[in-house]
Structure 1
Amino acid sequence: MTPQEGTAPMTGREAADPNLRHLLARAAAVEQRIRHAVELRRSTDPDPDDDFRGLYLTDESITRLLDEEGARVFPAVPPLDGGGAASRLDALAREFALSPLDTEILLIALVPDLDDRFEAFYAYLNDDVTRRRPSIGLALGLCGAAPSDPGARARLAAGAPLRSGGLLLVEDLDRPFLSRALRVPDRVAAHLLGDDTPDPRLAELLAPWQAVRGVGDPVPLAGVLADGVPLAYLSEDQGGAGTALAASALSLAGREVLGLDLARLAEDPAPADAVRALVREARLTGAGLVCAPLDAVSRERPQLLRLLTATPVPTVLVGRAPWDASWSSVPPLLLHAPRVEPGARGELWTEAYESWSPSPLPPALAPDDLLAPFLLTPEQLTAAARSAAQTARLAGGELRADHVRRGARAQNAAGLDRLARRIEPTVTWDDLVLPPDTHTQLRELTARARHRDRVLGEWGMRPGGGRGRGVSALFAGDSGTGKTMSAEVIAADLGLDLYTVDLATVIDKYVGETEKNLERIFTEAAGVNGVLLFDEADAIFGKRSDVKDAHDRYANVESAYLLQRMESFDGLAILATNLRANLDDAFTRRLDLVIDFPVPDPTQRLLLWNRCLGPTLPRGTDLDLPFCAENFELAGGNIRSIAVTAAYLAAEAGGAVTMETVIHAIQREYQKLGRLTLASEFGPYLGLLDQGPSCT
């Protein structure tokens, strides 16, 4: 049979696709060598009629495959013209530094994936019907290399480009070297045929990080990546645009972007294999790597970072942790990624919303203002917009401000929920009963939280010193004066969740454990957009004392650590205490506001009585709330507790709340507080008291 006999005509796709045309032309040349080897084997076989040749792979079956009309699938055409675009095979050879011998070996291992007839040919040449892939010895022989040639054998060693790059697998490692089978991974075969679908091994690890307009200046980073800088690290704060900036820079440098979620990689059962598959994918597609968040693997899996930083493709790592020189043998380019500033948040959110929602954005809605308190990455802004669009559709299609805020809150990490109690705010400014000055200071605190990025970031009003853009305040006052409720109102006004942390539960008797507990809280808080409320702050923010023993020394260390950590915190932190005088002066100096919550006066107490009893609770005609407000010096929390107790008493009696039930509830509250029930306080209602040892 002549070389052209049996050649199948090219299909429409083969003729139109230069890459496929080139690959099949190269495969046709391999086919001729294989045919020649089969013919030579037949002509030199001392017993060609042996029925057991190749375990029942008979000579007649091989003849039928060789002579089958139209069986040829590789068109015998010349390679691409020199002026055309390079084929994928040529590009792969350049990227992986393959020699001509490497390329021929790769093609020999590839042809069974292009035409299953070659499985039978290889089984015949291997003299074993179960071995349907080319062996190392057979591949070298088809290339005209002597099996004993050390240079040729080295091309198939573990560190050679074919194997180290993941282009060729050597199987049957328990066999002698020359009889080991060669196989091309499915992803490599698919790529050579024109398929750009990522390796299924990476499906759960890839992240869709993309270039975003208006977030930082990617040109300098793009320039150095294009010039051959292999590694960069972008450190960022909460709401940073590191991944978007890295993707933009790689795109400008002429690279595709391949994003890796390091948090998912840390959970992978075979992360090293995943990294190798990722690097191969990047090299096949001419992509650069964007890997984040670095913090997910930096502490417990630093070996993964060493693998990633040793890749032969441009790699940009993104995270919040300081760079450790031990993570890489190549020093990275160290940069700081900017946040998505307030002016850009609304634009990014609106663009994402309009791509998801069939309904236009209401003209009266101002995403810039609504999103100002939130520190969100570009990816989180996109997800928040989609969440808001879905919530609006569920509610009937009209987008409201609450939908925007709820979508933004949905991007919070869940880690802080294990360390603090999350409260979804349900109260408003109208629910507060406070002195005018206290109310004004709370409004000022809300304004600070809303405009902190503009004032502290764009206007640079807090330069240097390692201080973040956080806002901190102290709420000082007796129990029940409205500190927690005020924090809830502020959170509601900003559209944030409230997380309450009882510092008394954080303190540990073992040295260093308190600092670890605090660090876990602040670390998790950096992943959420919320108001962090530290209750019982005086438990740890107490005055530092002279060191008289080891307890004093470590107590001072805890206070000093928390002072430093508060300064670097980027969120809104509120500390509540009943004992302001016990707080360290160095701590109060670092606060943005100190707000006192006094015990309410009679006018405020009357408002509290009416609000706590509510509009639906049935009231008796003898209820004398002005008397209660004037005579009983109680905080709002106590009045609320009394109102609930009175409601239960009324429910049990099957009637309305009367003065008798209120007096009885006040007496029970006094007993809880350890206060004496003085006759002068109860006046004409003294006879309604239950007489006991607490009455005087």
Structure 2
Amino acid sequence: MASATKIQNVESPPVCPAPRELVGVVAELHGALRGLDCLLSSALDAFDASLGSASQEKYRGLYIAPEQVNLLLNRQPGQPSFVIDRASGLALWPPTEGSFARRMADSYGLSGFELDVLLIALAPEYDLRYERLYAYLQDDVTRKRPTVDLILALLCPSGIERMQHRPVFSADAPLVRQGIVHLVADPQQTDPPLLARYVKPDEQIVHHLLGDTGLDSRLAPFVRPSAGEASLADLHVADETRAHLIRVAEVMAEGRLHVWLHGPAGIGKRQAAAAVARHAGYALLTIDVTGIAADEIGPTVTLAMRQAWLRGAILCLGGIHGWLDSPIATEAVAALLTESPCHIIFASEREMPSALRQHVADVHLPLPDAALRATCWQSALGELGRKADERRLATLANLFRLTPGQIEAAAAEAVRQARLHAKQRDGIGALPFASMDDCIAAARGQSAGRLDGLAGKIDSRATWSDIVLPDDALSQLHELCQRVEHRGKVLDEWGFAERSVRGQGCSVLFAGPSGTGKTMAAEVIANDLGLDLYCIDLAGVVSKYIGETEKNLDRIFSAAESANAILFFDEADALFGKRSEVKDSHDRYANLEISYLLQKMERYEGVTILATNLRQNLDEAFMRRLAFIVHFPFPDEEQRRRIWSGVWPAGVPLAEDIDPGVLAGQLKFSGGHIRNVALAAAFLAAGDGQPVGQAHVLRAAQRELQKIGKSLTPGEQPSRATA
């Protein structure tokens, strides 16, 4: 976040704020046109004199008489058709203090000559008599608009001055580059020379001068709805951020600032822009350039800047980040900023390109902390006429790192679901309290889909009653859930977050043999917390190409931040093993990949679960970064009995010879293998049309042992079976 000192030192051109109402513009224009009338009167006299007797031709302007041909041949090259005895540099539209001409000159860097060009081009838009006058002077009844040649003839007493002022109509001159006037070709001519092109003022300037202050029709498709009349005090932001926005608004009131306002989607960038504009004394015009063709964005932004300037507003540009992926486009924006007549606030989800740093102040809107998120929930539900328990709101705020916009949408969805459930239950309207389950489901809906394509989502149905572990391991899992639930209180309210930006998430290691419940434990935690669980496919993450593994990891962790998900790396020893001794460049790069992963884990604010069968493969530097290390031992006989007792669904018919204690004592399987055996035995029993019996379990156990390279001897009884 930029400091106040840095903001005040940002280099940008002086901005002349537009007045709230156009006072005296008509009178100013009348005065300038009276000067133009005098000039045209002199021009008409000079023009008639130059034609002599040919000026009386009945059909002059419709054809070229022989006398006119001789006049044209006798004229010096570059000499206009008429010469006015006029003092050089005499302005038709002088930029007096406080005038519209002065504002144009100051904001767009126009000279007095360029203002006169604009006036001559504007005249037919105000009074059609100028069309006939221009047609007469151009000796063509079809030429009702002033051409470059006519304007130079009117304003330049000599051929030398014509050559000096001709660059005013070049593509890089302010009038044309800023789209204030357009050089239009006659439809009857193919690629006419510059002198033959008509000079037409932009319709935006015309409408404004004629009193039409409505929105330019060319901008209408891109204008976003108003962000409301929120003040800076109403924003759901931290006090530090609010103070920074106040400083930004105060500097903007002085007219020397453009701002890059960035933060995640739904953070409230447009609301913040509107509040800043209001505090600085401006209106806000919000344009979203998403969907505009790349070659049209520059002209559209130029048009939007002038619209904001004419309205006395700050321009808020959204959807700009996609366009700025191109370095050429970034340079184009930098060029636009140096000439912008208005303040610009860029609203983006990305950080500011470095090429713009000398022109724009950087302002970051961070994700609100847990306390602010709870306030957002309370406010959103309150606006919908619903209540929620403060403790529940705190839990929601801790579990889901949502933006204010996402919270508002989630609250609305939760209320809709509450109404539906209440209606289904007893036919009445919604209850005054929003259900916690409805709020959690709605919050999860705001995060859904962010990791799709990067990781596989696990449907978490397991509960605490489904998992069998030693007491200490279970205690650690409960402590893990408590850590997530009370994260906001400890880190934000109690101040631990201020001590370090690292370690604010929860990285956990599940270590133990295959089938001991590591995946089930991850499901239990996700189900208990109400968070989505995603399993990371390591085969899709690790790449042999330099830099690709880091890119894959960055995509996963970035998506996970907004997905509010638990990341589960199964068989993680493949990626998180001991960093090898550096023997060649490949070893060195592999170690860099692991170091990069450790950094991403430390900065990730959610839960990361690593499951490994080989705890000894993890080095000390890695272990230090873990909040919990939970050991999943091979279950003892009592634990196996409990697993066998709970493995059968209520609808499974069991024979009398099924004894969990006997099975636990004789079949030394882990929990995962026990579940496989139980399922296989159920299928065998269903095929026999019988309840599940000991014989079915024995046959299923034999198949399970075959998978791990062991077998039961023929005729061996379950009481003697060993795994």
| TM-score (normalizing by structure 1) | 0.76
Q: Which amino acid aligns with 2:718?
A: G
Answer yes or no: is 1:370 the counterpart of 2:396.
yes
Distance (whole Å) between structure 2 residues aligned to residue 87 and residue 498 of structure 1: 64
Alignment of 1:116-265 (within 5 A): 133-139=145-151, 148-149=161-162, 153=166, 155-172=168-185, 174-192=191-209, 193-197=211-215, 200-201=218-219, 203-204=221-222, 213-215=235-237, 216-217=241-242, 218-233=245-260, 245=272, 247-258=274-285, 264=290
Which secondary structure does the structure 2 equivalent of 1:183 belong to? Answer: strand
Deviation of 1:345 after TM superposition, in Å, equals 1.9
**Aligned match of 1:304 in 314, 329, 338?**
329
Q: 1:201 to 1:622 in 2, by over 3 A?
A: farther
1:360 corresponding residue in structure 2: 386
Aligned residue in 2 for 1:26? 29
Partner in structure 1 of residue 373 of structure 2 = 345
Of 32, 37, 46, which residue of structure 1 is paired with 2:55? 46
Query: Are the counterparts in 2 of residues 266 and 301 from structure 1 also a CA contact under 8 Å?
Result: no
Question: 362-371 vs 573-582, which deviates more?
Answer: 362-371
- Residues 705 and 711 of structure 2 are in contact (CA less than 8 Å); yes or no, is this contact kept in structure 1? yes
Q: Percent identity?
A: 36
1:559 Cα shift?
Answer: 1.9
* Cα 1:294/1:643, change in 2 over 3 Å: farther
CA distance in 1: counterparts of 2:399 and 2:533, whole angstroms: 13
Q: 1:510 aligned to 520, 545, 558, which one?
A: 545
How far off is 1:130 after superposition? 6.5
**Structure 1 Cα separation of the partners of residues 560 and 696 of structure 2:** 44
**Which residue of the other structure, out of 614, 618, 621, is the alignment partner of 1:583?**
618
The residue aligned with 2:718 is: 683
Structure 2 SS opposite 1:613: coil
The Cα offsets for residues 9-62 of structure 1, whole Å up to 9 and x where unpaired, read as xxxxxxxx974985498379759968996999799583664398399xxxxxxx
Of the three residues 356, 359, 374, the one matched with 1:328 is 356
The offset of 1:408, in angstroms, is 3.0
Rounded Cα–Cα distance in structure 1 between residues aligned with 2:560 and 2:664: 40
Structural mapping, 1:360-399, within 5 Å? 360-361=386-387, 366-389=392-415, 391-392=417-418, 398=430, 399=434
Q: State the alpha-carbon separation in 2 of the partners of residues 576 and 243 from structure 1.
A: 43
Q: Distance in 2 between matches of 1:367 and 1:267?
A: 44
For residues 472-511 of structure 1, what are the structure 2 equivalents within 5 Å? 472-511=507-546
Q: In the TM superposition, what are the counterparts of 1:590-609 in structure 2 within 5 Å?
A: 590-609=625-644
Task: Give the aligned length.
Answer: 640
- Using the alignment, how far apart are the partners of 2:711 and 2:251 within structure 1? 77
Measured against aligned partners, the alpha-carbon deviations of 1:468-513 in whole angstroms (never above 9, x if no partner) come to 6322111222223332233233333333322221224322233443
Distance across 1 between alignment mates of 2:588 and 2:155 = 76
User: What SS class does the counterpart of residue 418 from structure 1 fall into?
Assistant: coil
2:608 counterpart SS class: strand
Moved more, 640-649 or 40-49: 40-49
How many angstroms does 1:139 deviate by?
4.9
Structure 1: runs of 5+ lacking an equivalent: 1-16, 56-78, 687-694
Q: Cα 1:614–1:194, aligned 2, differ >3 Å: closer, same or farther?
A: farther
Out of 179-188 and 440-449, give the one that drifted further.
Answer: 179-188
Note the C-alpha offset of 1:219: 1.8
**Quick one: distance in 2 between partners of 1:29 and 1:160?**
23
Structure 1 CA distance, aligned partners of 2:598 and 2:139?
Answer: 77
In the TM superposition, residue 586 of structure 1 has moved relative to its aligned partner by: 0.6
Distance 1:203 1:459, change over 3 A: farther
Counterpart AA for 1:649: L
TM superposition shift of 1:296: 5.2
Structure 1 residue 534: Cα displacement: 1.8
Deviations along 1:446-469, one digit per CA (max 9) or x if unpaired, are: 232233344334433255665263
1:509-548 alpha-carbon deviations (Å, 9 max, x no partner): 3344333332332233334321122222111211123223
Deviates more, 1:467-476 or 1:204-213: 204-213
Q: CA deviation at 1:180?
A: 1.6
CA distance in structure 1 between the partners assigned to 2:441 and 2:328 by the alignment? 39
**Larger mean Cα displacement after TM superposition, 417-426 or 575-584:** 417-426
- The answer (yes or no) to whether the contact 1:537–1:576 under 8 Å persists in 2 is yes
Instruction: Output the amino acid matched with 1:677.
Output: L
Distance 1:307 1:27 in 2: 37
User: What is the CA–CA distance in structure 1 between the aligned matches of 2:506 and 2:633, rounded to whole Å?
Assistant: 23
CA contact (8 A) 1:503 1:540 kept: yes
Q: Please give the alpha-carbon distance, in whole angstroms, between the structure 2 residues aligned to 1:502 and 1:611.
A: 30
- Shift in CA distance, 163/685, structure 1 to aligned 2, threshold 3 Å: same
Could you tell me whether the CA contact under 8 Å between 1:309 and 1:315 is conserved in 2? no
- How far off is 1:350 after superposition? 4.2
CA distance in 2, matches of 1:430, 1:35: 97
| Superposition deviation, residue 157 in structure 1 | 4.0
**CA distance, structure 2, for counterparts of residue 127 and residue 582 of structure 1:** 93
Residues 470/37 of structure 1: CA separation in 2 closer, same or farther (3 Å cut)? same
CA 506–189 in structure 1, closer or farther in 2 if over 3 Å, else same: same
Aligned residue for 2:588, secondary structure, equals: helix
Equivalent position SS for 1:404: helix
**Residues 554-607 of structure 1, C-alpha deviations (whole Å, 9 max, x = no match):** 332222222222222233222111211111111010111112223334444444
CA distance in 2, matches of 1:424, 1:111: 71
For 1:640 and 1:301, how far apart are their aligned partners in 2?
A: 55
**2:147 aligned partner, one-letter code:** S
Supply the AA of the counterpart residue of 1:558.
E
Amino acid of the structure 2 residue aligned with 1:666? A
Quote the offset at 1:420 in angstroms. 1.1
For residues 601-630 of structure 1, the C-alpha deviation after alignment (integer angstroms, 9 at most, x for no partner) is: 444444444544322334445443443334
Tell me what 2:582 maps to. 547
Is the CA contact (8 Å cut-off) linking 1:642 and 1:662 kept in structure 2?
A: yes
Structure 1 residues 177 and 518, CA gap change in structure 2 (3 angstroms): same
Give the match's secondary structure for 2:486.
Answer: helix
SS of residue paired to 1:360? coil
Which amino acid is the alignment partner of residue 670 of structure 2?
A
Post-superposition shift, 1:110?
4.8
| Alpha carbons 2:698, 2:718 under 8 Å: kept | no
Identify if the C-alpha distance between structure 1 residues 141 and 297 changes in structure 2 by more than 3 Å, giving closer, same or farther.
closer
